[in-house]
Amino acid sequence: MLNEFQKIREEYQDLLAKVSRPDFIRDQEVYVKSSKRLSRLSVILEKIDDLEKLSNNISQNRIIIQESLDKALADLAEEESGILIPKAEELKKGLNLLIQRLDDPEAQDEEGIKEAILEIRAGTGGDEAALFAADLFKMYRAYTEKNNWEFKMISESRDELGGYKEVICEIKGKRVFSLLKYESGVHRVQRIPETEKAGRIHTSTATVAVMPVLKDVKLEISEKDLEIVFFRSSSAGGQNVNKVETAVRIKHSPSGIVVSCQSERYQHQNKERALGILKAKLLDIKRREQMEERVSERRSQIGTGERSEKIRTYNFPQDRITDHRINQSWKNISRILAGDLEIINDEVTKQLG
């Protein structure tokens, strides 16, 4: 691994020198490609530096444990090593994944996607499913804030208890899609609803879809394939907010996909944004079909992570979240629902790649 680290350092220094030359900038295609790789290498180098610091501390502690005559100092070094060694192992795993993905064109493309559509729908379970959908929405909103991403609501449909029948939003920022893509699928919750007097545990579901917004991909959508209806924006209670029909609902006849948008002030803006969502949905279908063709054997081993599958269970009585794709569980549901999603996301990404 040390040789691998040295090669990365050398490549980084070589690329850094090249992109600084005026003649190198003239070829924009090569320059942009090199700059992107330089950025990926810099992320890896930061992790390498962190690992080397940890390794040095572990080595120093090992010397103290073996040679120190001060028992209290040796015990302190051993205690610290018990914390640092697992941390170093986790960092090694993450580094291996980053290095493996360095030359993976698909991974590079995904990491470059800075915009995604997040769609959450209540599944089975009535009001409880809608409340769970609202919990998931709050979790992703908090995760968005932690990552300093931009967030914009596109459309929402609430029930009388304040849950979400459906909510769609747009998220922009660095590595948005690569960090959220494994959230797509069926999320299941097991808990006792506040309205349940007998204390019985109910099981409900919500569906999450994360779709990349690909600006440079051309997709022709014929106007004759669209059924467009304009209506008045409504609040959660169903009362009209606008007296003018600015909200839009679009149905794409060939696919049967229906999208709506009421977040903008003007009719044409809502139409444009709704068409953007439709495009993202159609491209997502195409992307998943292509992915399935390329990695069908691998997906049969680890699961597809598609929306038809149950990917995760949130068990409140046992304070446990289980991701079924990697068969791993975590405690402290409240912390994760408060936005600490990276606890799960990092491990899922490592194992599913």
Can you give the residue ranges of every domain in the chain?
Answer: 2-103, 113-218+297-352, 223-290
pLDDT greater at residue 1 or residue 177: 177
What pLDDT does 239 receive? 45
pLDDT band at 195 (very low <50, low <70, confident <90, very high): low
Q: What is the CATH number of domain 223-290?
A: 3.30.160.20
Q: In this predicted model, which residue has the larger pLDDT, 236 or 78?
A: 78
CA distance 153 to 144: 13
List CB contacts of 262: < 8 A, sequence separation 6 or more: 155, 233, 234, 246, 247, 248, 270
Per-residue pLDDT tens digits for 238-260: 444 455 678 888 899 888 888 88
Contact partners, residue 147, CB within 8 Å, separation at least 6: 173, 174, 179
Report yes or no: 148 and 269 within 8 Å, Cβ to Cβ.
no
Tell me the per-residue pLDDT of 174-190, one tens digit each, with 9 for 90 and over: 888 888 988 988 999 99
pTM flag (> 0.75): no
pLDDT-derived band at 308, boundaries 50, 70, 90: very low
Check whether 307 has a pLDDT greater than 60.
Answer: no
Query: Residue 106 — very low, low, confident or very high, per pLDDT cuts 50/70/90?
Result: low
Local structure of 160: helix, strand or coil? coil
pLDDT on residue 240:
44
51, 92 Cβ separation under 8 angstroms: yes
Kindly report the CATH number that applies to the domain delimited by 113-218+297-352: 3.30.70.1660
pLDDT in tens, 206-229: 999 888 887 656 677 888 888 888
The predicted pLDDT at position 244 comes to: 61
* 72 Cβ neighbours under 8 A, 6+ residues apart: none
As a whole number of angstroms, the distance between CA 102 and CA 131 comes to 40
